[in-house]
Structure 1
Amino acid sequence: MALYEVHARKWENGWELRVAGMGVTWSPTLGDADSRAREFITSQVVQEERAVHIDLHPHVNEDLDQLAVETRRALHTADEAMRGATAKAREVVHGLTEAGLSPTDIARYLGVPPQRLEQLVQG
């Protein structure tokens, strides 16, 4: 599978897609950028090289691009923390259930609404 780096830059009519070493195409939305870039690339490569992976790098402006990087990093950290909390919740719920506590008592013991406890345990 071939990896193609695509830089997407916002402009008034959508997104300019610059494919490294190949040229430029466009997409009306960022959501369509992968498929548009893939179509552009496969129209220019030989049949054997048609397995294409897109590495998309969207750009709006320097400030927003940096804020987006920081946001993705914070969301990733939050996701990891949530996975850890869910694992701990499952472990403590199991132990509290074995200790004879009801789901209502477990929720109160942990300081979460019963619906949230159910979400954590099912996770």
Structure 2
Amino acid sequence: MDITATARKWEHGWELWLDGEAATQIATLDKAEQQVRDYLDTEEPDVDHSAWNITVVPDIGPLGDEVAAAHIATENAIAASAAAAAESRRVVRHLREAGFSVTDSAAILGVSRGRVSQLVSS
């Protein structure tokens, strides 16, 4: 089961809204998912909510667009880093296959000898 809770900031923390109604509150947003689960357990004690997928969406106005952009930038950076590592591994293998020493391969790539050894073994 999937549940989406909207978190709205107030002077004492966050109100957690379910289905358009304020359901419960929490002091800090990092505890919101568990608070929703606890609330659901209170409302429906015979239902096991432990495996439910609970998504908490902070209602932070226009800052939400900035947060989304930051998430996308981070995901892009992670993907670029993975691609760069794969390319470095490929190039190091080719340098070593072409007979270049670990020291020379490191100098060519501008990395340490230890990094070349890591790239060869990964």
TM-score range, shorter chain: 0.7 to 0.9
Measure, in 1, the Cα distance between the counterparts of 2:14 and 2:112: 44
Q: CA deviation at 1:28?
A: 1.4
- Equivalent position of 1:44 in the other structure: 43
Q: Percent identity between the aligned chains?
A: 35
Q: Do the aligned partners of 1:86 and 1:121 also contact (CA within 8 Å) in 2? A: no
Determine helix, strand or coil for the equivalent of 2:89.
helix
Instruction: Let me know the Cα RMSD of the aligned residues.
Output: 2.6
- Rg larger in structure: 2
**TM-score normalised by structure 2 residue count:** 0.79
Measure, in 1, the Cα distance between the counterparts of 2:21 and 2:118: 48
Residues 1:53 and 2:53 are matched in the alignment: yes
Gaps of 5+ in 2: none
Q: CA deviation at 1:58?
A: 1.4
Q: 1:25 to 1:55 in 2, by over 3 A?
A: same
Gaps of 5+ in 1: none
Letter in 2 for 1:18: W
State the number of aligned residues: 121
Q: Do the aligned partners of 1:14 and 1:27 also contact (CA within 8 Å) in 2? A: yes
Measure, in 2, the Cα distance between the counterparts of 1:34 and 1:122: 41
Q: CA deviation at 1:72?
A: 0.5
Of 84-93 and 99-108, the range deviating more from structure 2: 99-108
